[in-house]
Each structure stands twice: as structure tokens, then as C-alpha cells.
């Protein structure tokens, strides 16, 4: 698959640690998920996915509770879910998911982050067809063979199982996200190193040193935007 999911997560968390920006973004995402359905993860699958992901980033309980209570309290604050697609240096491809209460501001900010760093925004559909929606779940303390066996016993179909450093990463269809987690939980696994619903590039590309430096600067600029929730791309950063 060409991706180091734990390393990517740790890099993002480290970059955001001093400002708690990542916590603020999760607070917004949890609020939106809770607002769209019941503020209970057992009956709101979207909220459950966000909370599982938040755990892997060690989001404090008070941030989570505050966002859910805000939704329960009938806050009128609303957000639009938006997706932008674009191109970076050397034809690299990027998808940006955002939550915003000001569509014009966000579109302008994302376009500027692309344009000022050697990229450009494309039209809807110009990039997404080269990516597949994918569930990514990682665990420690299990071998690939053990993971395969427990998933087979639970009758859960997955795309791939790959060992990465001290973890085993499972790639599955998005609708199998909870089934994979429940199979692990039934086997006594309660902590996940990765729990993501992501867009995975069908083919990764490798950039030369100069283009990669420009690309990473562009991605950092996009991820720094307050309204940006997730960024997906097809570049193998060698992490």
C-alpha cells in the first residue's frame, strides 16, 4: 500500500501538539457528527467513527464531552462538509475535506494554499477517481497470521493485512470498518493504533527532492487551515 499510517499520524500529532489545533478540529468534527444524528455513538455510526479516530490521537475526554454536550444543548451553529480536489508539484494529486461555517472563506483559503505552493485546484471529480474510500485499522500485539485468523473466524472480508513496524494494519471496505473493530474487540483488543476512514490513492508517486519539498510545504499549508479536516494525496513521502 506504500503508506506508513502510524508515522503519518504521529507526524500530524507532533506538528499540532503545541497549539492543540488538532483537538479543536476534532471538537468541531465530533460536534457535527453528534448534531447530525443522536449524540450517542451506539446509535450514531458517524459519531462512533469520529470518536474511534479521536482516541488514536489521544484527544482529551473533556474535548470530546464538550463537543457532544454542545450538540445536545441545541446549538444553532452549523457547518458544511466540503471536498476540494487539486494538483500539486509534478502532477501530484490531493483531496481536501473541510468543515466550515463560511464556504467562501474556506474555498479562498484552500485555493490560496494550493496556488502559493506550486499547485492548483481542480474541478470536482478531477482527482477523486484515482482514490478509493478505505477503512484502515491498526493494532499492536498481533501477527499478520493471528489477525487473518480472527477476521476469518468473524467472517469479515478485508482487502489486505500488512505488518508495519510494531503494528498490523488492516485495509478494508468502508462498510466493514465497525465489523473489523468488533472482530478485534471480541478477541480482546480494545486499543487501536490507527482507526481511519480515508481516501487511498490507487497508485502512489515518488517525487524528486525539490518537488517533494514543495509538495510537503503545500500540504502543511493546507493542513494548517482551520477549516480543513482531512488531506489525502498520492505521494510516497518515504515515511
Model's pTM, two decimal places?
A: 0.88
| pLDDT tens digits along 186-230 | 999 988 988 999 999 999 999 999 999 999 999 999 999 999 999
One domain for residues 122 and 216: yes
The answer to the question of residue 35 being in a domain is: yes
CATH number of the CATH domain containing 222: 3.30.70.980
- 101-to-30, 76, 178, 221 alpha-carbon distances in Å: 15, 11, 30, 20
CATH number of the CATH domain containing 23: 1.10.10.200
The answer to the question of residue 239 being in a domain is: no
CB 199 within 8 A of CB 189: no
CB 136 within 8 A of CB 6: no
Assign 164 a pLDDT band (cuts: 50, 70, 90): confident
Expressed as residue numbers, the domain containing 125 is: 80-129+203-233
Number of structural domains the chain divides into: 3
One domain for residues 9 and 27: yes
Grid coordinates of 10: 504521529
What is the average pLDDT across 137-159?
93
The answer to the question of residue 238 being in a domain is: no
One domain for residues 39 and 18: yes
Per-residue pLDDT at 93 exceeds 90 = yes
Amino acid at each position: 500500500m506504500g503508506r506508513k499510517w502510524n508515522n503519518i499520524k504521529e507526524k500530524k500529532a507532533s506538528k499540532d501538539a503545541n497549539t492543540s489545533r488538532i483537538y479543536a478540529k476534532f471538537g468541531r468534527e465530533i460536534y457535527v457528527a453528534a448534531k447530525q444524528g443522536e449524540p450517542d455513538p451506539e446509535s450514531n455510526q458517524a459519531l462512533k467513527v469520529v470518536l474511534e479516530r479521536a482516541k488514536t490521537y489521544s484527544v482529551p475526554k473533556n474535548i470530546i464531552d464538550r463537543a457532544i454536550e454542545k450538540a445536545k444543548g441545541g446549538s444553532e451553529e452549523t457547518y458544511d462538509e466540503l471536498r476540494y480536489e487539486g494538483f500539486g508539484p509534478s502532477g501530484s494529486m490531493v483531496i481536501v475535506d473541510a468543515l466550515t461555517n463560511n464556504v467562501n472563506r474556506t474555498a479562498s483559503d484552500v485555493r490560496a494554499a494550493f496556488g502559493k505552493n506550486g499547485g492548483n485546484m481542480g474541478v470536482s471529480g478531477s482527482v477523486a477517481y484515482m482514490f478509493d474510500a478505505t477503512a484502515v485499522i491498526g493494532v499492536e500485539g498481533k501477527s499478520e497470521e493471528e489477525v487473518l485468523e480472527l477476521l476469518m473466524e468473524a467472517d469479515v472480508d478485508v482487502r489486505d493485512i500488512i505488518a508495519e513496524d510494531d503494528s498490523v494494519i488492516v485495509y478494508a471496505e468502508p462498510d466493514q470498518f465497525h465489523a473489523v473493530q468488533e472482530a478485534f474487540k471480541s478477541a480482546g483488543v480494545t486499543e487501536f493504533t490507527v482507526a481511519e476512514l480515508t481516501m487511498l490513492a490507487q497508485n502512489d508517486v515518488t517525487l524528486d527532492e525539490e518537488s517533494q519539498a514543495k509538495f510537503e510545504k503545500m500540504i502543511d499549508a493546507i493542513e494548517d487551515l482551520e477549516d480543513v479536516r482531512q488531506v489525502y494525496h498520492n505521494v510516497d513521502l518515504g515515511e
